[in-house]
């Protein structure tokens, strides 16, 4: 998959417009997992904007984000960095070259305990 | 029989403050556009009654263009917003009247945009020329 | 039938080079109404104008068409020529055969052809022209300034200086506005009070200026030159003309625990108070929500103490009606509320303050007598964190904050940081910034001095979170340039809050029919060329009500607004543009469509008596255009469903005649 395609995919699935970022760094200032990360929230935004996505895909930082959404709450420009992180995670899964869940797997997952919503979203997420 | 060469006739309504001045600037800079474009000066683009446009089509105009200040820059604060709405309403009905929508247009040309004025007119004249002669709205009353 | 004269100008070779002028003159001879047609080398020259004048006399012309350059160039010239020859100046039409013909076309044939058509259109139009006379209206030679901050003060002083009476309406008990609350002013660091209070005294002593303090504009009617304004003078329960401002009542008042607005609630004031020592007018005011006498009828101490006998518990709000020729809006700004910014713990800790509160803390007349202390425990702060752009430059869809840059924060934060380091070298001062914006004379030098000479630590990044812990404030922030997250234990956090227009501006704009932008800043008539005028005639803008501004800018705009007001008041009569809308009352059906689209509020409805064919009378509601307010845009003419509304000089029939002439 080419670089532009991944970038477009990430922007599309996250619904984030990184061009709105004014580089204030409030996301990184607010991030509780900052010290764990190799690439910090503000870098996420600017790297996705510039299409420099390869390093992100292979970075541990991706899984250090707690999805606490503090950055989303506090960003003055409404950029929503956490959604980008989530979208990059998704891009990684989709790059791994197979369907992690097929329609045939669904029936055996169904039970009274699991909400259907969860299965629907898992199906979306793990299917190319 | 001699076939007269088809030259489109275009009526341009220009607001006094921006587009008319833009047209003057195009002249000052000697930027050429087709002589088929004839300009009528109005105080504001919102002075252009949709009736004027239909009248022009009845009388044989092939295209009508309305030029005003850019949104937000209107000399009268909000006139061009009225223009935008009124013309959107009129243009949506033109097909129904049998006139191609492409024969009309609203453009924003500021007093500093002589080049834009000339380019717009060139492009519009070309579009209108490609549509051919407009004969459809000439009713009996307005026959020459 | 008109008797039209056509004058075709060569403009040297400018027109004659591409247009066969003689042919144009010849062709137009046959147009309806044309009785005379000629061409000449330079129509605008004295000799050319004489040709026009002579022709008017000789051929008894009632209308003239000049085929020449753009009307934007010489329409005024030829109108004057016509007027000199006794012809109504609005009987002149220009066919623009230079800018819109000879200069854009290279070929003689097309040029001539088009020039003839343009000439025909002008002839067709002039045939339907009617003589127009501009309306005249008298000018009331008195100005109203709404808002008594530095903007209003400067405007009032400048207008009064030119000899015109001015009234200032200020909603607070004293004039002075925000500038009176400031400590020092950037970039020269002179004290705000030292430069402002003398001006306030000038205002008080100027016999041309009346101050209506503790008053608000209640109603505005009329139009440019003739505004009728109702001003509500709120009851202050003290007779203004008798009170000497001695302050004895303030000292004796037992109701002492009321938040002091002037110090932004950081200390208390009594129920009867004078906002600050240099207040103008220096008159006490009773806060009716705090005074025991007014609430419960018990006390009356101030009335007993007052030697002058100025206290009057029975005072009522008073309405003052006055006529004005011009109105200046100078309603100013306020810092936005920090309520929604809970990440900065503004509501949780007294030691998180806004910059305006910091101003009061460092002001010698402030709650701490100028000593920089922590509001919570009165201790000296050793680490101070300044946060810039709090609520400025936010996304338009964000729930909190403003989209624009508040413009003044970078400079006052640099000032605060510098002054702190200067006075208390033992303090560590951090400034978190996104960008430092310092365009202005000596502004960037000032900021560099704060960094280089005074050792203020400027950090590119933003504070994400402030958590009060013990007597410290834990500040978590990012340092983008060294790519680190910082944790600072601060004693004081100062927020550079965005500024917004005063809340009173919106209802005022409605009263004045002045337009505003989405942020409630007043819109100027032209963003570059008419920056101190509102699009509504006779309404002018001064200071931060038009957009964020620092003091030097405010003062220069105030002076500019004053000069515009003086220019208006210096006239005895206003002559309007005669090309305005007018309604044919017989056709008007009173539907209000025109009233709704008019951007100037020039159209009102009147009930008028009409005689019916059967000799009865009937009262009908019809549109009436105020000629002094109408600017002649023509929006109403198109909105009118019955065709009753028409625009003089650009009438429906005239434009249709032009269309027909062009399409023939």
| B3: pLDDT strictly greater than 60 | no
* Distance in angstroms (rounded) separating the CA atoms of residues A51 and A39: 15
CATH number, domain of A75, equals 1.10.1060.10
User: Does position B142 have pLDDT exceeding 80, yes or no?
Assistant: no
Asked if the model's pLDDT at residue C439 lies above 90, the reply is yes
**H or E stretch including A40?**
none
Q: Is C153 on the interface with A (CB under 8 A)?
A: no
Among the partner residues C389, C397, C465, nearest to A30 by beta-carbon distance: C465
The DSSP annotation for C376-389 comes to TT-PPPSEEEEEEE
User: CB contacts < 8 Å between A and C, how many?
Assistant: 70
Closest CA to B77 of C536, C111, C391, C110: C536
Could you state, in order of their start, the residue ranges of all structural domains in chain B? 10-131
Longest CA span, chain A: 48
In this predicted model, what pLDDT tens digit does every residue of C300-328 receive, in sequence order?
A: 999 999 999 999 999 999 999 999 999 99
Q: Which residues from A are below 8 Å from C478, CB to CB? A: 25-29, 34, 40, 42
Work out the average pLDDT over B31-47.
94
Question: Mind listing the pLDDT tens digit for each residue in C565-610?
Answer: 999 999 999 887 899 999 999 999 999 999 999 988 899 999 998 8
Q: Give Cα C119 to chain centroid, integer Å.
A: 42
Chain B: nearest CA to C537, how far in angstroms?
11
Chain B interface disruption, residue of C129, C633, C652, most B CBs within 10 A = C633
Peptide bond into C340 cis (omega under 30): no
Cβ of residue C476 closer than 8 Å to a chain A Cβ: yes
C512 touches chain A (CB under 8 A): no
pLDDT bin (cut points 50, 70, 90) of residue B1 is: very low
Structure tokens belonging to residue C256: 């002492």
- The model's confidence at residue C279, banded by pLDDT at 50, 70 and 90, is very high
Asked if residue C326 lies in contact with residue C568, where contact means CB atoms within 8 angstroms, the answer is yes
What ranges make up the beta strands (E) of C31-127? 34-40, 63-68, 92-96
- For C253, the token pair is 């008042």
What is the domain range of residue A52? 3-97
Two structure tokens written together for C627:
């000629």
C104 CB neighbours in chain B (<8 A) are 26-27, 30-33, 35, 118
Of C394, C461, C476, the CB nearest to A76: C394
Give me the domains of chain C, ranges plus CATH numbers.
Answer: 4-126 (3.40.50.960), 143-175+191-332+511-569 (3.50.50.60), 333-500 (3.50.50.60), 581-648 (3.30.70.3270)
Query: Between chain B and chain C, are at least 3 CB pairs below 8 A?
Result: yes
Nearest to C599 among B24, B61, B78 (CB): B78
Q: Is A40 on the interface with C (CB under 8 A)?
A: yes
Q: Are C575 and C134 in contact (CB under 8 A)?
A: yes
Q: Which residue of C has its CA nearest to B44?
A: C633
Q: Which of residues 248-287 of C touch B (CB under 8 A)?
A: none
Whether pLDDT at C143 is above 70: yes
Say if residues C590 and C622 touch (Cβ distance below 8 Å). yes
Mutate to test the interface with C, among B41, B79, B143 (most CBs of C within 10 A): B41
Q: Determine whether the interchain pair C480/A34 forms a contact, defined as Cβ–Cβ distance below 8 Å.
A: no
Overall number of domains in chain A: 2
Shortest Cα distance from C464 to chain A (angstroms)?
4
Q: Is the pTM of this model over 0.90?
A: no
- Alpha-carbon distance of B55 to C24, in angstroms, equals 26
Look at A113 and C555; give whichever has higher pLDDT: C555
Which residues in C lie closer than 8 A to residue A23 (C-beta atoms)?
434, 480
**pLDDT at residue number B4:** 58
A128 and A91 co-located in one domain:
no
C133's CB contacts (< 8 A; 6+ apart) are: C88, C578
Nearest-CA distance B35 → chain C (Å): 7
Residue whose tokens read 């469903």: C641
Q: Are residues A36 and A63 in the same domain?
A: yes
Do A126 and A67 fall into the same domain? no
C11, C99, C644, C652: best mutation site toward chain B, by most B Cβ within 10 Å?
C99
Instruction: Name all contacts of C77-85 with Cβ < 8 Å and 24+ positions apart.
Output: C77/C44, C77/C49, C78/C43, C78/C44, C78/C49, C78/C52, C81/C49, C81/C52, C81/C53, C82/C52, C82/C56, C84/C53, C85/C52, C85/C53, C85/C56, C85/C57
| Chain B residue with the nearest C-alpha to that of C597 | B82
Give backbone dihedrals phi and psi of A124, rounded to 5 degrees, phi first. Answer: -65, -45
Residues A87 and A107 in one domain: no
Cβ <8 Å between C70 and B86: no
Clarify whether residues A80 and A127 are in a common domain: no
Nearest beta carbon to residue A28 from set C389, C401, C478: C478
Q: Judge whether C462 and C478 are in contact, CB under 8 Å.
A: yes
Residue among C622, C579, C626 at smallest CA distance from C598: C626
- CATH code, B10-131: 3.40.50
Q: What is the 3-state secondary structure (H, E, C) of C340-370?
A: CCHHHCCCCCCCEEEHHHHHHHHCCCCCCCC
In degrees rounded to 5, what are phi and psi of residue B43? Answer: -60, -40
Provide, as residue numbers in chain A, all residues whose Cβ is less than 8 Å from the Cβ of C389.
Answer: 24, 76
- Cβ–Cβ below 8 Å for C461 and A29: yes
Could C480 and A42 be called an inter-chain contact, meaning their C-beta atoms sit closer than 8 Å? yes
Query: Which of C99, C650, C652 is facing B23, going by the closest CB pair?
Result: C99
* Helix extents (H) in C43-107: 46-59, 71-84
Q: Tell whether C462 lies on the interface with A, counting CB pairs under 8 A.
A: yes
How many whole angstroms separate alpha carbon C248 and alpha carbon C252? 6
In chain B, the residue whose alpha carbon lies closest to the alpha carbon of C121 is B40
Which residues of chain A have a pLDDT value below 70? 1-2, 97, 128
ipTM of predicted assembly, 2 dp: 0.94
Closest CB from C394, C465, C476 relative to A77:
C394
DSSP conformation class of C101: I
Q: Stretch B70-91: mean pLDDT, rounded?
A: 89
Contact A30 C389 (CB under 8 A): no
Contacts of C556 (CB under 8 A, 6+ apart): none
Contacts across the B-C interface (CB distance below 8 Å): 132
Q: Is C478 on the interface with A (CB under 8 A)?
A: yes
CA distance B1 to C349: 94
Lowest-confidence pick of A31-40, B4-13, B19-28, B58-67 = B4-13
Chain C residues whose CB is inside 8 A of the B144 CB are: 664
pLDDT tens digits, one per residue of C454-498: 999 999 999 999 999 999 999 999 999 999 999 999 999 999 999
Looking at residue C523, its pLDDT comes to: 87
Pick from C658, C578, C661: nearest CA to C625: C578
Same domain, A50 and A87: yes
What subunits touch chain A, counting only 3 or more CB pairs under 8 A? C
- Tell if the CB–CB gap between C462 and A25 is shorter than 8 Å: yes
Position C536 scores a pLDDT of 82
The 10s digit of each residue's pLDDT in C353-409 is: 999 999 999 999 999 999 999 999 999 999 999 999 999 999 877 778 999 999 999
CB C203 within 8 A of CB C168: yes
pLDDT bucket at B13, cuts 50 / 70 / 90: very high
C72, C599, C637: residue with CB nearest B76: C599
Q: Which chains lie within 8 Å of chain C at 3 or more CB pairs, if any?
A: A, B
Paired tokens of C296: 């419960």
Which class for C17: exposed (0-12), middle (13-18), buried (19 or more C-beta within 10 A)?
A: middle
Which residue among A29, A35, A77 places its CB closest to the CB of C464? A29
Mean pLDDT of chain C: 94
Q: Which residues pair with C541 in a beta bridge?
A: C329
Compare all CA atoms of chain C with the CA of A40 and give the residue at the minimum distance: C483
> Between chains, do A29 and C460 touch, taking CB under 8 Å as contact?
no
């Amino acid at each position: 998959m080419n670089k532009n395609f991944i970038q477009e995919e990430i922007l599309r699935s996250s619904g984030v417009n990184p061009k709105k970022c004014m580089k204030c760094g409030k996301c990184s200032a607010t991030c509780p997992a900052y010290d764990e990360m190799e690439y910090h929230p503000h870098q996420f935004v600017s790297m996705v904007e510039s299409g420099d996505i390869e390093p992100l895909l292979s970075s541990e930082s991706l899984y250090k984000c707690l999805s606490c959404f503090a950055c989303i709450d506090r960003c003055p420009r409404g950029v929503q960095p956490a959604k980008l992180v989530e979208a990059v995670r998704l891009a990684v899964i989709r790059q791994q070259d197979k369907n992690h869940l097929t329609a045939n797997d669904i029936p055996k997952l169904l039970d009274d305990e699991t909400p259907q919503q969860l299965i629907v979203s898992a199906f979306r997420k793990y299917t190319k | 029989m001699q076939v007269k060469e088809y030259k489109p006739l275009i009526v341009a309504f220009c607001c006094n403050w921006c587009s008319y001045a833009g047209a003057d600037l195009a002249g000052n800079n000697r930027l050429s556009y087709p002589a088929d474009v004839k300009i009528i000066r109005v105080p504001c683009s919102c002075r252009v009654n949709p009736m004027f446009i239909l009248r022009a089509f009845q009388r044989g105009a092939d295209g009508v263009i309305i030029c005003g200040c850019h949104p937000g820059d209107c000399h009268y604060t909000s006139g061009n917003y009225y223009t935008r709405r009124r013309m959107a309403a009129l243009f949506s009905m033109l097909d129904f009247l049998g006139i191609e929508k492409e024969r009309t247009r609203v453009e924003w040309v500021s007093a500093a945009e002589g080049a834009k004025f000339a380019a717009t007119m060139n492009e519009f004249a070309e579009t209108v020329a490609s549509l051919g002669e407009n004969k459809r709205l000439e009713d009996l009353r307005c026959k020459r | 039938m008109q008797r039209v004269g056509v004058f075709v100008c060569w403009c040297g070779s400018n027109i004659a080079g591409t247009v066969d002028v003689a042919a144009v003159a010849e062709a137009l001879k046959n147009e309806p109404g044309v009785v005379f047609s000629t061409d000449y080398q330079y129509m605008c020259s004295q000799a050319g104008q004489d040709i026009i004048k002579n022709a008017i006399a000789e051929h008894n012309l009632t209308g003239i068409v000049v085929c020449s350059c753009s009307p934007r160039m010489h329409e005024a010239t030829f109108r004057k020529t016509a007027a000199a020859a006794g012809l109504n100046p609005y009987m002149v039409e220009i066919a623009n055969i230079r800018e819109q013909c000879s200069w854009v076309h290279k070929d003689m044939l097309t040029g001539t052809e088009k020039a003839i058509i343009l000439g025909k259109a002008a002839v067709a139009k002039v045939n339907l022209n009617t003589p127009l006379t501009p309306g005249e209206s008298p000018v009331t030679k008195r100005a109203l300034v709404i808002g008594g901050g530095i903007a209003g003060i400067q405007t009032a002083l400048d207008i009064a200086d030119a000899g015109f009476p001015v009234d200032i309406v200020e909603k607070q008990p004293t004039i002075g506005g925000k500038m009176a609350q400031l400590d020092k002013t950037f970039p020269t660091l002179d004290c705000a009070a030292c430069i402002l209070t003398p001006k306030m005294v000038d205002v008080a002593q100027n016999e041309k200026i009346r101050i209506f303090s503790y008053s608000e504009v209640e109603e505005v009617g009329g139009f440019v030159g003739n505004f009728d304004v109702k001003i509500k003078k709120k009851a202050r329960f003290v007779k203004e003309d008798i009170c000497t401002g001695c302050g004895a009542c303030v000292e004796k008042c037992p109701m002492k625990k009321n938040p002091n607005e002037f110090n932004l609630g950081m200390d208390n004031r009594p129920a009867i108070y004078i906002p600050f020592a240099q207040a103008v007018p220096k008159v006490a005011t009773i806060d009716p929500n705090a005074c025991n006498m007014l609430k419960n009828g018990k006390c009356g101490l101030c009335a007993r103490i007052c030697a002058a006998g100025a206290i009057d518990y029975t005072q009522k709000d008073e309405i003052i009606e006055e006529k004005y020729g011009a109105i200046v809006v100078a309603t100013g700004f306020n810092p936005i509320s920090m309520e929604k910014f809970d990440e900065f713990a503004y509501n949780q800790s007294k030691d998180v303050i806004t910059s305006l509160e910091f101003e009061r803390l460092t002001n010698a007349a402030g709650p701490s007598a100028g000593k920089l202390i922590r509001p919570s425990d009165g201790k000296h702060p050793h680490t101070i964190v300044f946060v810039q752009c709090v609520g400025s430059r936010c996304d338009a869809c964000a729930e909190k904050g403003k989209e624009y840059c508040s413009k003044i924060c970078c400079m006052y934060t640099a000032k605060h940081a510098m002054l702190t380091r200067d006075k208390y070298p033992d303090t560590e001062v951090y400034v978190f910034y996104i960008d430092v914006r310092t365009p202005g004379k000596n502004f960037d030098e000032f900021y560099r001095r704060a960094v280089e000479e005074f050792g203020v630590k400027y950090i590119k990044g933003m504070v994400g979170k402030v958590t009060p812990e013990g007597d410290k404030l834990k500040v978590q922030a990012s340092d983008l340039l060294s790519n680190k997250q910082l944790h600072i234990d601060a004693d004081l956090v100062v927020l550079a809050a965005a500024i917004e227009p005063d809340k009173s501006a919106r209802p005022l704009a409605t009263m004045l029919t002045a337009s505003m932008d989405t942020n409630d800043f007043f819109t100027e008539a032209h963003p570059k060329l008419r920056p101190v005028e509102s699009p509504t005639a006779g309404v002018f803008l001064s200071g931060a009500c038009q957009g964020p501004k620092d003091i030097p800018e405010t003062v220069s705009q105030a002076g500019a607004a004053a000069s515009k007001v003086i220019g208006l008041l210096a006239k005895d009569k206003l002559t309007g543009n005669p090309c305005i809308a007018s309604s044919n009352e017989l056709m008007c059906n009173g539907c209000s469509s025109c009233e709704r689209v008019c951007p100037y509020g020039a159209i009102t409805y009147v009930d008028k008596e009409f005689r019916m064919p059967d000799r009865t009378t009937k009262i009908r509601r019809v549109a009436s255009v105020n000629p002094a307010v109408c600017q002649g845009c023509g929006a109403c003419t198109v909105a009118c469903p019955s065709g009753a509304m028409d625009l003089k000089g650009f009438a429906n029939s005239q434009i249709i005649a032009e269309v027909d002439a062009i399409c023939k």
